[in-house]
Amino acid sequence: MPESGLFFEQMSLGPMQNFIYLIGCKKTRACLVVDPAWDIDALVTRASEAGYDLRGALVTHYHPDHVGGSFFGFKVPGGVAELLEQVPDAAIHVNKLEAEGLAKITGVPLSALQTHESGDRVQIGEIEIQLIHTPGHTPGSQCFLVDGKLVSGDTLFIQGCGRVDLPGANPEDMYRSLTQKLALLPDDTVLYPGHHYDPKPSEQLGVLKRSNHYLRVPDMDTWLAMMG
């Protein structure tokens, strides 16, 4: 099997156990960061130590523990605003439904954001990343699929799924995202979630289809009863 040329690194940063990812191309030595919150210096340094040029960010969703900014009077450091200070021409990729919220929460101008539809592909060097719109946790939540790896933000965790009781969340959308999108991906896809909530940092989707109750709910009525 030919080597894929994918550079992929998982890091845990911050008090909320966020997982942050570097996704890059071994050939061109360019990379993107997924959800650059908490510590931009650490992310830029890590990319550079690994020999990569950090070109921008992929945003799973606009909650400040993933993108920086303020919520409930609490300020999360790092984030897309600080990334743009350090890398002024960084591309910030966000679902189109979340661009306004991202701009508001982080203070980054809308003009600095690249908005996307589901199914869009983002290229970094020779690596292609597929964007899958998975609303539910937030309206514009999206997952990233690259070379059999699914970076899922707060949509799907190893033993659960993202909260659907926060402002902007929608339990019906979450059910459809889980059952009609993520559960249809091949069993050997490996899930890389947005938080280190479970003992394992990643797991095969085929295992989760058997072990994660949130992927096994038979119908919407049962789901809505379960989600309160």
Q: Contact residues for Fe ion (CB under 5 A)?
A: 63, 154
Cross-strand pairs, 144:
131, 151
Give the nearest distance from C-beta 79 to Fe ion in angstroms.
Answer: 13
Count CB neighbours of 112 within 10 A: 18
CB of 46 to Fe ion, least distance (A): 23
Q: How far is the CB of 73 from Fe ion (least distance, A)?
A: 17
- Pairing between β-strand 149-151 and β-strand 190-192 as defined by DSSP bridges: parallel
- Select 28 or 159, whichever has its Cβ closest to Fe ion: 159
Closer to Fe ion by CB, 124 or 191: give it.
191
Q: Which is nearer to Fe ion, 141 or 179 (CB)?
A: 141
Tokens standing for 106?
């982080």
CB 152 within 8 A of CB 198: no
Which residue's CB is nearer to Fe ion, number 60 or number 212? 60
> Closer CB to Fe ion, residue 98 or residue 154?
154
Strands (DSSP E) contained in the chain are 6-13, 18-25, 30-34, 53-58, 69-71, 74-76, 91-95, 113-116, 121-124, 127-133, 142-146, 149-151, 190-192, 203-204
Closest CA to 152 of 143, 161, 140: 143
Distance CA 193, CA 175 (A): 17
Cα atoms in the Cβ-side hemisphere of radius 13 Å centred on 130 = 12
Taking the complex as a whole, how short is the minimal distance between the CB of residue 6 and Fe ion, in angstroms? 26
Nearest distance, CB of residue 137 and Fe ion, angstroms = 6
Output DSSP code: residue 62: -
Cα 110 to Cα 50, 60, 106, distances in angstroms: 31, 17, 10
User: Least distance in Å: CB of 63 to Fe ion?
Assistant: 4
Q: Closer to Fe ion at the Cβ: 20 or 124?
A: 20
